[in-house]
Amino acid sequence: MGILKKFALLFVANAIALYLATLFVGGVSIPLKLESFAVVVAVLTLIHLFIRPLIKIALTPIIILTLGLAGILVNALTLYLLDLILPTVAISGFLPLFLTTIIVSITSTIFATTSKMV
């Protein structure tokens, strides 16, 4: 898959996931104004494309030992990094971070499987 197609699919998946997390998870504050939201989604997509693979490489032994369950930890670290980078994003506490991670993981999985079918 080309990098632009992957970026576009990740962007849409992340936009939907962050929007759902903002609506349904208390303790998650992401600006919903179009320009600000697009910046947040773009930064998360870039983190997913470039930094997440490095985190996965660093945590490979833990991912293997937990039979892939530590993939949630990888996604949580990417969202925590987003929270650190952008002052407009606020994820307050472990439970909102965990729930947002689950939403992002499920949405990304759905988009990944449907993009392979198309």
Instruction: With beta carbons less than 8 A apart as the criterion, state whether 91 and 97 touch.
Output: yes
Q: What is the DSSP string of 7-68?
A: HHHHHHHHHHHHHHHHHH-TTEE---SHHHHHHHHHHHHHIIIIIHHHHHHHTHHHHHHTTT
The number of folded domains in the chain is: 1
**Residue found under tokens 């030992």:** 65
Residue in this structure with the two tokens 């504050």, named with its chain if needed: 29
What domain range is 73 assigned to?
3-117
**pLDDT at position 33, please?**
96
pLDDT digits (tens, 9 = 90+) for 18-51: 999 999 999 999 999 999 999 999 999 999 999 9
pTM here is 0.91
d(CA 37, CA 63): 31
pLDDT exceeds cutoff 70 at 118 = no
